[in-house]
Amino acid sequence: MAKIKFGGIEENVVMREEFPLKKALEVLKDETIAILGYGVQGPAQALNMKDNGFNVIIGQSKEYKKDWDRALADGWEPGKTLFSVEEAATKGTIIQYLISDAGQRILWPKVKPCLKEGDALYFSHGFSIVYKEQTQVIPPSNIDVILVAPKGSGRSVRENFLDGSGINSSFAVFQDYTGRATERTLAVGIAIGSGYLFETTFQNEVYSDLTGERGVLMGALAGIMEAQYNTLRKHGHSPSESFNETVEELTQSLIRLVGKNGMDWMYANCSATAQRGALDWRHKFREAVLPVFEDLYSKVVSGEETRIVIEANSAPDYQEKLSEELREMRESEMWQAGAAVRSLRPENWGK
């Protein structure tokens, strides 16, 4: 593994050049990779590995018709490459446990007996292992327990693979029974199309992931957008103007500049008026939200956020409640304005 400096701190990073696809194919040539769950991450990782030439099978219950039908539509064949969760887990030597966190807890009593000595149990999230007191997911001692966590949604994992860019992933080994756990982990990380892999632990992955999702990546982003949009509307600005100044300019212009060369480069390519105001107000926003992030992180570490997730996602009416919350967001004035603004983009003309 290469040593890369990030802000003066050295970290272990594995690049494709260091661990090429040819090497991954050699490492996993005798392995059967069983993907359990065909929901969010499952399809992307499975299809990427299949396209890369690995031996992949799917474990998906027919009870979840939407996911089963999606697997069929993607070309997985019942009895050949598509099986029940238990049968796939039994056939596999690397078992990728990609069911939802709440689902992993529920299905674990069925999956655990299927694991054989020397198998590798693979996660893309440290949730079930780190919060084992709540999930009761405690692997047997005679298997490898490994993790590769792509830093993006399943859709991004697949789209980035298809355009050749890949997506960054973290990796970790929780239990090395075979002595090959690290090698297997890196091989699967390359197999699913990671741009590069950086080392972490199961605990650090889940703490950072839960904080990030609730924070900047999703929760804070949505909340701050809503606050700014509502402030502009309150003071008489039109929906179109409010949405453009809050979301459209960010997603269609500024965030692309940040992604290309960093925040300072984005600032340097904006007007002097924008630079001065952003530099001044940046500190005020940071100090205002810092206590919220500290509160969030403490709730992640304590397991409070885990408790909420398990209780909510295990409820029989979870999907109905989720659909209602998303409908409320979609039908709010802000996101109705967003739909109208997006329809005016040149690529949508005439549609």
Identify the CATH number of the domain in which residue 223 sits. Answer: 1.10.1040.10
Question: Mapping DSSP to helix (H, G, I), strand (E, B) and coil, where does residue 317 land?
Answer: coil
Q: What pLDDT is attached to residue 8?
A: 79
Looking at the structure, do residues 193 and 226 belong to the same domain, yes or no? Answer: no
Q: The whole model's pTM is what?
A: 0.90
Tell whether 177 is covered by a domain: yes
Looking at the structure, do residues 129 and 25 belong to the same domain, yes or no? Answer: yes
β-bridge partners, 78: 82
Q: Which residues contact 189 (CB under 8 A, 6 or more apart)?
A: 14, 148, 169, 171, 197
Tens-digit pLDDT profile for residues 112-145 = 999 999 999 999 999 999 999 999 999 999 999 9
The secondary structure of 147-204 as a DSSP string is EEEESS-HHHHHHHHHTT--EEEEEEEEE-SSS-HHHHHHHHHHHTTEEEEEE--HHH
Which domain covers residue 304, as residue numbers?
212-348
Q: Which residues contact 54 (CB under 8 A, 6 or more apart)?
A: 25, 28, 31, 33, 191
Looking at the structure, do residues 178 and 230 belong to the same domain, yes or no? Answer: no
Q: Which position among 125, 235, 237, 283 bears the catalytic label?
A: 125
Tell whether 61 is covered by a domain: yes
Tell whether 86 is covered by a domain: yes
Distance CA 323, CA 65 (A): 17
283 catalytic? Reply is: no
Looking at the structure, do residues 41 and 135 belong to the same domain, yes or no? Answer: yes
Looking at the structure, do residues 102 and 60 belong to the same domain, yes or no? Answer: yes
Taking 90 as the threshold, does the pLDDT of residue 34 lie above it? Answer: yes
Whose structure tokens read 């040819």? Answer: 22
| 230: DSSP letter | H
Q: Domain boundary residue among 155, 179, 200?
A: 200
Taking 90 as the threshold, does the pLDDT of residue 273 lie above it? Answer: yes
Mean pLDDT calculated for residue range 202-211: 95
Tens-digit pLDDT profile for residues 319-348 = 899 999 999 999 999 999 999 999 988 887
Q: What pLDDT is attached to residue 6?
A: 77
Count: domains in the chain:
2
Tell whether 8 is covered by a domain: yes
What token pair was written down for 331?
């039908």
